[in-house]
Amino acid sequence: MTTSTTSSDRPVPSRPAPFSTPFDAPARLWLRAAFLFAGAAQLITISALASADPEPNTWAMLLLAVAPGFVVAAAAFTRAPVNALAAVVAAAVLVVGLVGAADHTGWFFAPALAALAVGAVKLWRARA
């Protein structure tokens, strides 16, 4: 006598969720908006540095040309323990770059900073 086991007889192992907050949660939506704004402003900054009439290569301009897209992407697309820290680091990068390059292209990052702040607050409230 043989017994056949079907797939319904076996217990299905439970997998942990890839993100502790759903990917369409309000905090994630605001963080993704901040990522889009930061990416657009980063492209504007790179274009300003490489244009025919280039902006001066200050530390703030180089910071805004390199860092915002990566740190805001870390805040928007990583797991829950990491994205809160990445949101704080991204806000610090945006504030320092905006203050340092306020007379050039720094103000293009203001919408990204606003969306990041709202997303970070919603993220902290969801964790509590």
Percent of the chain with pLDDT over 70: 80
Has residue 90 got a pLDDT over 80?
yes
Closest CA to 20 of 84, 73, 88, 116: 84
Domain residue ranges of the chain, discontinuous segments joined by +: 26-127
Report how far residue 95's alpha carbon sits from residue 77's, in angstroms, rounded to the nearest whole number: 21
pLDDT score of 25: 80
Note the pLDDT tens digit of each residue in 44-82: 999 989 988 888 888 999 999 999 999 999 999 998 788
pLDDT score of 121: 92
Question: Are the C-beta atoms of residues 109 and 72 closer than 8 Å to each other?
Answer: no
